[in-house]
Amino acid sequence: MICSTPAFLLRAFDFRETSKIVTFFTRDFGKVKGILKGVRKDPRKFSTTLSPLSLNHIVFYRKRNTEIHLVGQCDQIDDFGMLTPSLKTFGFASHIAELVDCLMPLEDAHAEVFELIFDFLNTLKGGTADTRPIFQIKILSLSGFKPHFDSCLACDAKIERDAFFSRSRGGLLCGRCCPTDRHAEAVLQGSIATLLYIERSEWSKALRLNMSSQIRGQLEGILTSFINFHVGRALKTSRPVHELIDLAG
């Protein structure tokens, strides 16, 4: 079956002497793996730079007995500045590419995630603002992994004062229920309100939210530990991206 679709490049690695195995997130088929035969021997065979999160138009031959399909055409539409990125831009894009790759299953179409990546890259192209927390909150919601911040997970009570985040249970516990998880961490009411606002708002509205450094730092810590726990490992780009941010100033 011949398939044609726009696709963001998530990951690429060398295969044998002349080819590459590439992971895309496509608009019409979700995450797709494919092989670009001969691209290392002749880079001009495909009209793409294979830069991280570049948007390409691909044509691939979908096979039923394997998860790796043959990519016959890969034409770049936009590189979003990834050919000559700043350190921050490269770090942010690499982290988001790995996050999408880890959270999204193979060949499960999800047009909203495709649009979310597009929104993130257009924002990144316009500057170096760190919109990773916004992206993380939204993709967790879209992928079905979202943490429960609406009420207490244990008793379902509305949390009006003390709140604690349980990464193992995937949400908030009230003051009475927090002893059920000795690793639960205290959460600011401002962090809860910020997360819920971002989750329920359009990308453009979420961008206008002015997060304090305290709330941003707490949300980043919560989201990182939650993602790592449910993925089963720390993302490879988590530490390098912070080092790049510090280096870039």
Structure tokens at 119: 């929104």
| 58-98 pLDDT tens trace | 999 988 888 999 999 999 999 888 766 677 888 888 899 99
Please report the pLDDT score of residue 115 as a whole number: 97
The CATH number, out of the four listed (1.10.260, 1.20.120, 1.20.1440, 3.40.50), of the domain defined by the range 117-248: 1.20.1440
pLDDT tops 70 at residue 216: yes
pLDDT tops 60 at residue 234: yes
Listed by start position, the domains of the chain span 2-84, 117-248
Structure tokens at 153: 């997970």
Least Cα distance to 87 among 95, 79, 99, 76 occurs for: 95
Structure tokens at 124: 């990144």
Band of residue 30 on the pLDDT scale cut at 50, 70, 90? very high
Question: For helices 213-231 and 87-103, what crossing angle results, to 10°?
Answer: 40
Bridge partners, 4 (sequence order)? 59
- Common-topology check for domains 2-84 and 117-248: no
CA 188/CA 94 separation, integer angstroms? 29
Q: Cβ atoms within 10 A of the Cβ of 83, count?
A: 10
Mean pLDDT confidence for 8-32? 95
Q: Which of 24-33, 154-163, 240-249: highest mean pLDDT? A: 24-33
Band of residue 244 on the pLDDT scale cut at 50, 70, 90? low
From start to end of the chain, where are the E strands?
2-15, 19-26, 30-36, 55-61, 68-78, 163-166, 171-174, 185-186
CA distances from 243 to 59, 88, 132, 237, 239 (A): 37, 10, 15, 10, 6
Q: Cβ atoms within 10 A of the Cβ of 47, count?
A: 12
Task: For domain 2-84, give the CATH superfamily.
Answer: Nucleic acid-binding proteins (2.40.50.140)
